[in-house]
Chains A and B, each alone.
Chain A
Amino acid sequence: MAAAAPPILLFTDIDEPGLNTLEVYERRGGYQSLRKALKMTPEEVLEQLKASGIRGRGGAGFAMGTKVSFLPKGTMDKYLVCNADESEPGTFKDRELMQKTPHTLIEGIIIAAYAAGTNRSFIYIRGEYVLQADMLDAALQEARDAGYIGENILDSGLSLSLVVHRGAGAYICGEETGLLDSLEGKRGNPRLKPPFPAVQGLYQGPTLINNVETLSTVPTIIGMGGEEYAKLGVETSTGTKLVSVSGHVQRPGNYEIELGIPSREIIYGLAGGPQVGRKVKCWFPGGSSSPVLKEDDLDIPYDFNSLAGAGSMLGSGAIIVIDDATPILDVAMKVAKFYRHESCGKCTPCREGTNWTVKMLERIDLGEATPMDLEIMASVQEHIIGNCLCVLGDAMAMPIGSMIAKFKDEFEEHIEAARMRRNLNVGGI
């Protein structure tokens, strides 16, 4: 496994100076995939995307080709929205792509728009990414001047507008329907589904929403052919994936891996593992919304289905490693407080559930909790899952639930120790 160099598709010489400019990008063969795609019919492009087997890189892992085919045919206004809100804790792969090779994303958007038959497109980028949004704006201007964006692109009859829309700091706007509301200039509250965005999305029109990494992969797929791309990775998870490794590792950062390699190879091989003398206590395989896995799970292949089989998920591909010196209560508290802060407040189970979970964790820390509280806390999580319009509540309930299940002894120890401490203090007064 370790012998051959891993295939690099998205990160090829990504630090080449000037790659963010059209000149260098074109010199390296940029926008050739677009030319190739425009010589095909939209149906043929769609076939290539389906054949590639690529699954969405944003979190849900839905097959991209299938998603594109959900858009109704016809001549109404259709929209393509690139989700660049990247706010899942631990995720920073899209940032690297947009900052260093923004034209790859723009080219991917044009090809996807051609396949889906959309005529207006938007990039919703989180407001915190100031540098990356500036890079995209500059690249977009170059693309417009070169005739890649606008009316009758490369004499193909395809017309497409593209707007870079900056958010203003809200995790929920990474959820597709919350993003659409935010893009319409409202509070970013999620909508009831169905209707799904493919049928009724932005401005009530059919809308295709894809992640930055997914769209940035499209030029590669068209360039090498869908079937060739599908040979990479494993059967249900094709291709390469960018993983963001952070937390207690020696070399945090973005790595491009072929899907299906052992997780240990990413955490220890690429990222260097925890500091010498420390061990992996637990790790999030796909952002802080994914159920945690333990050290024993390090040999699970890193792909969509294997991680789902292990009771977790690949999510956005953000691995957060926690070493054995960190109390699990601290991790749970950070995670729960984040979701409490970011809950939009629309659905009761999420709004109240995140709040009460934080309060119960604080009770544990203050020595006011009993072991029974753990069961109550676990049941709170169960009552959130599946009961809200979007999955923000689930995104807290799944990791917290998994922590309670997998680290029950430690929680109980913590409860007892904190109670003892509290009783001593009370007795002392």
Chain B
Amino acid sequence: MSTPEDLIHVAEELEVRSAEAGVRLPVTRFAHGSRVPGWDRAADLEKDPAEIPGVGGSPSPEVPADLRAEIEAHMAKYPDRRSAALPALAAAQRVHGWCSPQALEQVACVMQVTPAYLDSVATFYDMLDTTPVGRHSVYVCTNISCSLCGADELYEAVRAAAGDDAEFNVRAFECLGACDIAPMASVDGVYVGPLSIDDVPQLLEDVRAGRPVLPEKQLARRLVADPHANSQEFPLHPAEGGA
């Protein structure tokens, strides 16, 4: 079996050879020699298999009562308790800020599954964070329709304006299903758009101050585009759920 040192050696040799042939610039590599991260830690075969926390003598973690009640309520809705994995992880993420090992262990304890099972689920979904993130999420849609309307520039502007403020989790997101208000963003779950770069300071200021974000630009207040849909004039929808 090759060690990371061997791999680095092979990688270096490859680079020397390609440099001699005069074709390629050296490629950047991780310390373990590969161009992709991970795979550098061997499985520890001595370790015992993962256990369900609190079962068979394994230590039972302290679970906040509210979180436990919420997860149990979700589990009761389905014929199979494991169906509650997504809502349970989302609930734990709200409590802990992200799907931390501690959060996974608490959910695992209530749901009676292994933390590894929940880890496999959490790593699959974009909205479950497996690394620490800012408290306020700003998802800027950069998919095709939004990017045709300038979403990439908007995303850069939001990132620049948020800077290194640890409160914000600014992400470029795949289609959020609101191409009618392109370019748009989902700010802590509230859809706002169409946004211009000038709106960015106000948007972040509203989040910092805990106010409803750009109320006049919220999707909740928008009428349908189809001119034939409404037979009479209706006032704007109240910003239900958004504010």
Are A288 and B144 in contact (CB-based, < 8 A)?
A: yes
How many pairs of A and B residues are in contact by the CB < 8 Å rule?
Answer: 201
Which chain B positions have C-beta within 8 A of A131? 189-191, 219-220, 240-242
For window 231-260 of chain A, which residues contact chain B by CB distance below 8 Å? 244-248, 251-256
Binding stretch for chain A, among B39-47, B157-165, B176-184: B176-184
**Complex alpha-carbon distance, A128 and B190, angstroms:** 9
Known: A320-B145, A338-B144. A256 touches B228 (CB 8 A): yes
- CB atoms of A87 and B175 under 8 A apart: yes
A5, B228: Cβ atoms closer than 8 Å: yes
A127 → B minimal CB distance (Å):
5
Q: Is B82 an interface residue (CB 8 A)?
A: yes
B77's nearest neighbour on chain A, judged by CB, is A163
B174, B220, B234 pick with most chain A CB within 10 angstroms: B174
Interface residues of A in 322-340 (CB under 8 A from B): 322, 326, 330-331, 334-335, 338
Which residues of B sit under 8 angstroms from A135, Cβ to Cβ? 240-241
A342 sits at the interface (CB 8 A): yes
In the bound complex, what is the Cα–Cα distance between A318 and B176 (angstroms)? Answer: 14
Contact, CB under 8 Å: B224 / A14: yes
Q: CA–CA, A16 to B233, complex, Å? A: 9
CA of A90 to CA of B148 in the docked complex: distance in angstroms? 11
CB distance from B184 to the nearest CB of A (A): 10
Residues of B within 8 A of A86 (CB): 177
Contact with B along A87-122 (1 / 0, CB 8 A): 111111011100110000000000000000000100
| Bound Cα distance from A90 to B177, whole angstroms | 7
Question: Which bucket holds chain B's interface residue count?
Answer: 35 or more
Q: Are A8 and B144 in contact (CB under 8 A)?
A: no
Residue of A15, A128, A165, A185 near B139 (CB, 8 A) is: A128
Interface flag for A169 (CB, 8 Å): yes
> Pick the contact of B177 from A128, A165, A188 — CB < 8 Å?
A128
Is the C-beta of B48 less than 8 angstroms from some C-beta in chain A? no
Tell me, yes or no, whether B120 is within 8 Å of chain A by CB. yes
How many residues belonging to A are interface residues under a CB distance threshold of 8 Å?
Answer: 75
User: What residues on A are CB-neighbors of B224 within 8 Å?
Assistant: 11, 14-15, 96, 100, 253-254
Interface positions of B from 132 to 155, Cβ below 8 Å from A: 139, 143-145, 147-149
Distance to closest chain A CB from B188 (angstroms): 9
Q: Are A130 and B241 in contact (CB under 8 A)?
A: yes
For residue B78, which residues in chain A have a CB less than 8 angstroms away from its CB?
Answer: 163
Quote the shortest CB–CB distance from B128 to chain A (angstroms): 5
A270 sits at the interface (CB 8 A): yes
Report 27 cross-chain contacts, Cβ distance below 8 Å, ordered by A residue: A11-B226, A15-B237, A17-B235, A20-B240, A87-B177, A90-B175, A91-B177, A92-B180, A95-B177, A100-B237, A127-B90, A127-B127, A128-B186, A131-B220, A131-B240, A165-B83, A167-B125, A185-B82, A186-B120, A187-B124, A244-B179, A244-B180, A248-B148, A256-B226, A320-B144, A320-B179, A338-B174
Instruction: Please give the residue numbers on chain B whose beta carbons come within 8 Å of chain A beta carbons, in ascending order.
Output: 77-80, 82-87, 89-90, 120-121, 124-128, 139, 143-145, 147-149, 173-182, 186, 189-191, 219-220, 223-232, 234-235, 237-238, 240-242
Further 20 A-B residue pairs, CB within 8 A, beyond A11-B229, A252-B181: A12-B231, A99-B220, A100-B224, A100-B237, A127-B90, A128-B127, A128-B186, A163-B77, A165-B87, A168-B127, A169-B126, A169-B127, A186-B82, A187-B121, A246-B180, A248-B148, A251-B225, A271-B225, A331-B144, A342-B174
